[in-house]
Structure 1
């Protein structure tokens, strides 16, 4: 099922997010293990200590952070990129103490599944789908993808779908 999904690191870890947690150190450990990235607590982010996810100010997209707060059990879902693949992310989530809440959900731009972190936050893990054949046009996305994939679907994520590494 994952053969048409892009498997490479994106310049930003998250698509969009701020995650409230009850135990900042435990949450940092969970996300560091699941995403296999180094995370540390920062006292420079405002009135509370926070944990920043890696981000690149010069790349499209956004970063995010964990902060001490009350997780809403039925609140919004945070969607994170899954560059190693959805199967690998499911295994990491369970091993780190989270739970997988759904099977893969196919959408035109790729696939994702829902999970919960140990605090009960709803998180989605998303992997972009690639075309079987790239469009071969360097400027194709200036006027919209000839494969009917709107450019805005991918420029928001910092990925040119037709020209992404395979």
Structure 2
């Protein structure tokens, strides 16, 4: 396989407006919400040919927010930047900025407004 293994991700939400506001505040981005016949999807910005997977917030009855599910890592310039905005946006810090190793950088984990466990990764 020539590509990285992750090609797409979806983060389950119970309240699209609340989740949209949270992620926009934490990452300083705009999320575009589209209704696909009753399935609401909040699209994270598409950076074109930039590395990394594209994804959405998703609201549909079979998608249930959870701390126990797959852990998505968002790439960051410095994990602490986003962690500093988590609580003001309505989330909770789950794991503070922690060094993985000198060669692999840092990580941090938070709980979003929907109850999902989500991670951050940076080299600094």
Are positions 1:115 and 2:110 aligned together? yes
Are positions 1:79 and 2:79 aligned together? no
Q: Which residue of 1 aligns with 2:40?
A: 49
User: RMSD of aligned C-alpha atoms?
Assistant: 2.0
Are positions 1:105 and 2:98 aligned together? yes
Are positions 1:90 and 2:83 aligned together? yes
C-alpha distance in structure 1 between counterparts of 2:71 and 2:48, whole Å: 23
TM-score normalised by L of structure 1: 0.61
TM-score normalised by L of structure 2: 0.80
Stretches of structure 1 that go unaligned for 5 or more consecutive residues are 1-14, 130-166
Aligned length: 113
1:61, distance to aligned residue in structure 2 (A)? 1.9
Structure with the larger helix share? 1
Stretches of structure 2 that go unaligned for 5 or more consecutive residues are 1-6
C-alpha distance in structure 2 between counterparts of 1:79 and 1:30, whole Å: 16
Are positions 1:128 and 2:119 aligned together? no
Q: Which residue of 2 aligns with 1:136?
A: none
1:28, distance to aligned residue in structure 2 (A)? 0.5
